[in-house]
Amino acid sequence: MEGAKAAIARRRAAPGPDVISDLIRVRDGDRLSETELVTLVWQLVLGGQTPANLIANAVEALLAHPDQLAAPRADPDRLDLARDEAAHLGYAHGPHFCLGAWPARLQVRIALTALLRRSPGLAPAKTPERMPDPGTWRLASLPVVL
Ligand code: HEM
C-alpha cells in the first residue's frame, strides 16, 4: 500500500501517459475516492505477481497428473483439461472483474506452452513447498528436472 501511495504521489507531481496518471485524472475529477484509487493501484502491482503463482501452480498440477499431458480423460474427480469450459470465478465477476484477466491468461498460456515445448521431459525433482499466505495460493519452491 505504501508503494502504491508513493507511485500515486509521483504521478500527481509529474503526470505521464500511463494508467496511474489516467486513474488520478479520474480521481481528481471526483469519480474515484482516494481509497479506491490507492487500492486499484495496489491491485495492479499485486496483479503482476498472480500469473507467476498461477504458472507455478499449473506446472505443479500438471506434474502431479502426468496423464493430462498425455491423454486427457473425463472424470469429475480428476484434473481434466479437456472438460467443457464452465464459468468460474477465478477472475471475479461483475463491475470488479479482474482488469488483468486477459493479459494474465495470455502470459500463462505463453509460459506453459514454451516450458512444455522446451522441456518435454519436465518432471518433479522434490516435493514442492507451499508458502503460507492468506491472500494467494502460492509456492515457495517447485524443484523440477528440465
Ligand atoms: C492469474 C492471475 C490473476 C487472477 C487469478 C486475478 C484475480 C482477480 C480477482 C478475483 C479480482 C477481484 C477482486 C475483488 O473483487 O476484490 C481481481 C481484480 C483486479 N485485478 Fe486481477 N487477477 C490476476 C491477474 C491480474 C493482473 C496481471 C493484473 C494487472 C496487471 C490484475 C489487476 C487487477 C485489478 C486492477 C483488479 C481490480 C479491479 C476492480 O476492482 O475494478 N490482475 N483480480
3-class SS letters over 6-74: HHHHHHHHCCCCCHHHHHHHHHHCCCCCHHHHHHHHHHHHHHCCHHHHHHHHHHHHHHHCCHHHHCCCC
pLDDT per residue as tens digits for the range 71-125: 555 666 777 777 777 778 889 999 889 988 998 999 999 999 999 899 988 999 9
- Residue 23 beta carbon below 6 angstroms from any ligand 1 atom: no
- Measure the CA–CA gap between 52 and 104, rounded to whole angstroms: 9
pLDDT of residue 130: 93
Cell of 5: 501511495
**DSSP letter (8 states) at residue 138:** E
pLDDT of residue 72: 52
Q: Whose CA is nearest to atom 20 of ligand 1?
A: 98
**Candidate of 39, 43, 46 to mutate for ligand 1, largest count of ligand atoms within 8 Å of Cβ:** 43
pLDDT of residue 126: 92
- Residue 102 beta carbon below 6 angstroms from any ligand 1 atom: no
Cβ–Cβ under 8 Å, residues 142 and 60: yes
pLDDT band for 66, please (50, 70, 90 cuts): confident
Cβ–Cβ under 8 Å, residues 107 and 118: no
The kind and range of the H/E element at 115 are helix 101-118
Tell me the CA–centroid distance for residue 47 and ligand 1, in Å: 6
Which residue bears the cell 485524472? Answer: 25
- What are the domain boundaries of the chain? 2-46, 53-67+97-146
pLDDT of residue 127: 92
Tell me the CA–centroid distance for residue 68 and ligand 1, in Å: 27
pLDDT of residue 89: 87
- Residue 40 beta carbon below 6 angstroms from any ligand 1 atom: yes
Tell me the CA–centroid distance for residue 54 and ligand 1, in Å: 13
Three-state SS for 82?
coil
pTM to 2 decimal places? 0.76
- Measure the CA–CA gap between 31 and 33, rounded to whole angstroms: 7
